[in-house]
Structure 1
Amino acid sequence: MKNRKIVITGGPGTGKSSIIHKLEENGEKCLHEISRQVTLEAQSSGIDQLFLTQPLLFSEKLLDGRLKQYIEASGFKSDHIFIDRGLPDVVAYMDYFETEYPEVFNKTCENNRYDQIFILPPWKDIYTSDNERYESFDEALKISSYLYSTYKRYGYKPIEVPKLSVEDRTNFILDKI
């Protein structure tokens, strides 16, 4: 049984987590976004925004965590697994913030391929910020364009998920896999 790795990505505040939770409610196997975990771990060590103070270290932790998720996904005994953000997201954010990174970032993205990418477009009506999401909606728009271009640069053809209810967006994804 081929275990297809399916990424749900998009800029900040596009509804990724809501869709992942809905997929889980439907009995789907999912792996959650890890950037909040990395941020919270840094905050517990006294670093308020690790991405802003040490962007390369933050991104290395994300790349490592997402690679572990990729490997973990291979061990699931199911036809497919959904992953909240993929390895190329790390590169897209580094490019957005004009932060240099070692070639291992590109090699990791090239050598660990996903089977399908769904991208959620920016949607002002549902966008909110919180303690871990510090980007404005305008910044979220720009980040989204970096995500599109980064996934395409690695040879993916992201499928854009229409702006619908969480249930309808979830069904759209399930119908396309």
Structure 2
Amino acid sequence: MIQDEEEGPMHSRHVVLSGCSSGGKSTLLAELGRRGFAIVPEPGRRIVEEELRGDGSALPWVDLKAFANRALSLAANDRHDVPEEAGWVFFDRGFVDAAVALQHATGRAAAGVLTAYRRYHERVFLAPPWPEIFETDGERRHSLAEASAEYDRLLKAYRELDYETVILPKVSVEERADFVLRTLR
């Protein structure tokens, strides 16, 4: 089903998992994929992997504006390339996250950037900061404090954009997946 302006975001089967870096989003995405749902990996991770193999000019810790612009483009392509299907499609972040990063880097309002894009499902699931599982690595270099500040920006932006924000509980990945699916019923 293709979403048009008359159908609105509730009819979209494209669901975003967003929130704090290292909050368990990718693990949850993998669990939903294991259960047979269509999944789309995080644009930012894919960009960082590519940039680390190349000149590294669009890394978030080098040039956040360039990184956010690439993430916005990649997320828009992901959304375009994944048709609305009978079942749920889960996105690890999306173009709203990229627009919020661009706003943070440039001051350009995320709402203005997003007018060109169809909305995701009205419910967005946010992973809160979870210090007990937080880790950095070669692709995720920011601190828990920086990740928590990003979470606060995302929570505020999704609410201002009239998405229903659902905070994921700090439970096992299986219980989180059950929670997401139960919430979408």
Global fold match (TM > 0.5): yes
Moved over 4 A (4+): none
Aligned to 1:43: 52
What CA RMSD, in Å, does the superposition of the two structures yield over aligned residues? 1.9
**Distance (Å, rounded) in 1 between the aligned partners of 2:51 and 2:128:** 29
**Distance (Å, rounded) in 2 between the aligned partners of 1:148 and 1:68:** 24
User: 1:91, CA displacement in angstroms?
Assistant: 2.6
**Distance (Å, rounded) in 2 between the aligned partners of 1:14 and 1:165:** 12
Change (3 A) 1:3 1:146: closer
1:117 aligns with 2:119: no
Paired residues in the alignment total: 173
- Find 2:177's aligned residue among 162, 170, 175: 170
User: 1:39, CA displacement in angstroms?
Assistant: 1.2
**TM superposition score normalised by structure 2:** 0.85
Question: Please, which runs of 5 or more residues in structure 2 have no aligned partner?
Answer: 2-10
Paired residue secondary structure (1:99): helix
**TM superposition score normalised by structure 1:** 0.89
Paired residue secondary structure (1:13): coil
Question: Please, which runs of 5 or more residues in structure 1 have no aligned partner?
Answer: none
Following superposition of structure 1 onto structure 2, how do residues 14-25 of structure 1 map, counting pairs within 5 Å? 14-25=23-34
1:55 aligns with 2:57: no
Paired residue secondary structure (1:126): coil
User: 1:114, CA displacement in angstroms?
Assistant: 0.8
Q: Is the 8 A contact 2:99 2:113 kept in 1?
A: no
Aligned to 1:157: 164
1:77 aligns with 2:85: yes
Aligned to 2:8: none
Aligned to 2:7: none
User: 1:22, CA displacement in angstroms?
Assistant: 0.3
Change (3 A) 1:100 1:49: closer
**Distance (Å, rounded) in 1 between the aligned partners of 2:58 and 2:75:** 19
Same amino acid, percent of matched pairs = 25
- Find 2:38's aligned residue among 11, 18, 29: 29
Aligned to 2:6: none
1:147 aligns with 2:147: no
User: 1:45, CA displacement in angstroms?
Assistant: 1.7
User: 1:15, CA displacement in angstroms?
Assistant: 0.1
**Distance (Å, rounded) in 2 between the aligned partners of 1:162 and 1:145:** 16
Q: Is the 8 A contact 1:4 1:81 kept in 2?
A: yes
- Kindly provide the CA deviation profile for residues 67-123 of structure 1, in whole angstroms up to 9, marking residues without a partner as x: 0111122x253332111102111132234xx421656x5444233201121111111
Q: Which has the higher contact order (CA 8 A, sep 6+)?
A: 1
- Find 2:138's aligned residue among 131, 136, 160: 131
